[in-house]
Amino acid sequence: MDGTQTPPALLLHNARLICPESDTVGIGSLTIEGPRIAAVDVRPARSRKLHEFDCGGLYLAPGIVDIGVKIGEPGERHKESFGSAGRAAAAGGVTTMVTRPDTSPPIDNPETLQFFMRRASADSMVTIKPMASLTRGRAGSEVAEISLLRDVGAIAFSDCDSPVRDVSVFARCLSYCSQNDALVIGHPQDADLSRGAAATTGRFAALKGLPSVSPLAERMGLERDLAVVEMTGARYHADQITTAAALPPLARAIDQGLSVSAGTSIHHLTLNEHDIAGYRTFFKVKPPLRSESDRQAIIEAVADGRIGTISSMHTPQDEESKRLPFEAAASGAVAVETLLPAALRLFHSGDIGLPALFRALSLNPSRLLGLDTGRLAPGAPADLVLFDADIPFTLDRFELNSKSKNTPFDGQLLQGKVIRTYHQGQLIYRKPV
């Protein structure tokens, strides 16, 4: 009978397995059975029906778990849909997208989230784990329905780049979240100091006459958030730490035993403020690009684990919102598809090894959110990316799968291409020949 027949297993052999858990890279094999990894470095029984694929010595790593992806649904489907974002993710080796609620309307109630989840399961090729907003309408005055949203699938709560200004409201939100064991994802940034800023205060912004924000605004935002975490006992993850000055308070909070972690964005790891050059709006992100010394400090913090996660902070913007003077242009960049090749810059430069890179791209985000992916281990979901770290290419933004093409890497030389992506055992992307 068909129903009892198990589908053939798939043996991926001659692969360089990147194992962030054991911090190792080595030639080996991996067997996929159904949606899960069945074995690592163990050849399945001969009796078993088996397909084999020779990976040709390429790298095989756990699929990327990208925290903070903006999909244009609902409200801005012309910028990005589940379909286009899913294809971009698959082509980028991202197997789980943790989505942002800064949509229009914001995802702040169970009904909207249900709609969102239905759209996701209908159209997305990869796993979608949604964040919901922390306050109603992301307006920063009333707590959202945290518990009901959790029941529908919200995995974390965030007001994204508009941090709750009123400390008493923020404290109530965190207090409420801690009771529900809900993870809060904060955007550490002093809202008043950063109002209207388009660049980071310093030589570059001064010369270009751009309204700017001191890099210390990030530390101030973080210190406020950490004090409220201490007060309420909430679980807190800072979405992007991008300045050296914010690292000591982060380390202190972790030493103190608070349930605190931090991530950073791929753009702040690979670009600095001088890339803005002649007011190039594709380089306008939030927070603004930093100095080279801050970039170096953040790379070090990722390498030694003080910063746990790397995200794309994928933010699709249409051409019109970027074809404006720098100050008036929208912030953000599409990045889910370029996350891996950009991150490989840090590997090629010798700054971060591959296991550490995938610890930040896959394992840590997965653990943070209580998922069981991000590992090469029997029983884990077969979410995998096979890539060649060496293929050089010049990025043409119009070849991206995203509907929006606002990438700062347009025309830049990148090195490293995804060859295959597996999502729950299914091949969802194969590099075109």
Partner 1 sequence: MGFSGRHLLGIEALSIEDILQILDLADSYVDLNRRKVKHSTALAGMTQVNMFFENSTRTQSSFELAGKRLGADVMNLEVDSSSVGKGETLIDTAMTLNAMRPDLLVVRHPHSGSVDLLAEKVDCSVVNAGDGRHEHPTQALLDALTIRRVRGAVEGLTVAICGDIQHSRVARSNLLLLSKLQNRIRMVGPKTLVPRVFEEFGVEIFDNMRDCLRDADVVMMLRLQKERMEGAFVPSMREYFHLFGLDADKLRSAKPDAIVMHPGPMNRGVEIDGALADDISRSVIQDQVEIGVAVRMAVLDLLARTRRSTADHSVPRELI
Which residues form the interface with partner 1 (CB under 8 A)? 201-203, 206-211, 278-279, 320, 323-328
CB atoms within 10 A of CB 57: 10
Are 184 and 214 spatial neighbours (Cβ–Cβ below 8 Å)? no
Report the residue number, 3 or 325, with the smaller CB distance to partner 1.
Answer: 325
CB of 253 to partner 1, least distance (A): 30
SS3 assignment, position 1: coil
Report the residue number, 291 or 311, with the smaller CB distance to partner 1.
Answer: 291
Overall residue count recorded for the chain in this entry: 433
Per-residue DSSP letter, 399: G
Are 429 and 86 spatial neighbours (Cβ–Cβ below 8 Å)? no
CB of 319 to partner 1, least distance (A): 10
Report the residue number, 2 or 320, with the smaller CB distance to partner 1.
Answer: 320
Q: Are strands 64-69 and 36-40 parallel, antiparallel or unpaired?
A: unpaired
Report the residue number, 211 or 353, with the smaller CB distance to partner 1.
Answer: 211
CB of 295 to partner 1, least distance (A): 18
Report the residue number, 172 or 280, with the smaller CB distance to partner 1.
Answer: 280
Are 12 and 59 spatial neighbours (Cβ–Cβ below 8 Å)? no
Report the residue number, 74 or 202, with the smaller CB distance to partner 1.
Answer: 202
CB of 280 to partner 1, least distance (A): 9
Give 258-280 as a DSSP string. -SEEEEEEHHHHH--GGGGTTT-
Report the residue number, 182 or 210, with the smaller CB distance to partner 1.
Answer: 210
Are 81 and 403 spatial neighbours (Cβ–Cβ below 8 Å)? yes
Are 356 and 364 spatial neighbours (Cβ–Cβ below 8 Å)? no
Task: Residue 243: name the closest of 194, 301, 186 by CA.
Answer: 301
CB of 197 to partner 1, least distance (A): 12
Report the residue number, 56 or 209, with the smaller CB distance to partner 1.
Answer: 209
Helices in 96-192 by DSSP H: which ranges? 110-123, 146-152, 167-179
- Torsions phi, psi of 333, nearest 5? -145, 145
Q: Which two tokens stand for residue 263?
A: 């991530």
Task: Residue 387: name the closest of 334, 429, 333, 329 by CA.
Answer: 429
Whether the bond into 105 is cis, omega within 30 of 0: yes
